[in-house]
Structure 1
């Protein structure tokens, strides 16, 4: 399944991907699917989400009732998104950011995501939580 190039209009569902969360299949806007996957892999269970479709702030509702608001990117962030990895590392060094510590944190989160396996009866071996296009994906108990 390819990721769409842009968000769909509100009420359209062609830009969503299926994702197993708490033993049930949820449709997640593709532009925030990585974030929702990481939250659930870290045992921060999500119950609803919307990217905002470029028209309003997005949100992710957590099982405990909190709501994470996804604000539109500031111009500075837009500029960073256009930078190469080397340019980002150079800027981080100028700003005194410990990039090795940040990289270790990111790696730890993705290790949890990779470890969150689902049971897929049509595969020779279980698919993992990153394979959100699996129609039979079921998250194991406790991997919310």
Structure 2
């Protein structure tokens, strides 16, 4: 009888610890800065089609599903696309003219110190493997190098 009570107590303690760990992880995630809205050409095209059809909420949902952006970042991004305004990579800084090309977007990510995100972008849009995409990103020169 005592052994059964101890077992139930141990299970409840484990469940409590797991719950606290999940809550702590969720809370830590709220303080992690989200990446700037750099959308692929395909995603931007689909968002524009939705906003042209007066489906802004669906456009925001699509942005949130396909990026790591939250509602606070996805709504202004969808509204900017609908209005034909350029997205900003960082507050107050317009998107580079090269951002429309895959190489330009990967170059921007690499220049801002986000090499792994650049590799992920290249892999996602081309189907390259990890090594191929990393070699592609490594071969990109920054805009400062080409000037």
Fold-level similarity (TM above 0.5):
no
Greater RCO (CA < 8 Å, at least 6 residues apart): 1
User: Which one has a larger percent helix, Structure 1 or Structure 2?
Assistant: 2
Structure with the larger strand share: 1
TM-score (norm 2): 0.28
TM-score when scaled to structure 1?
0.29
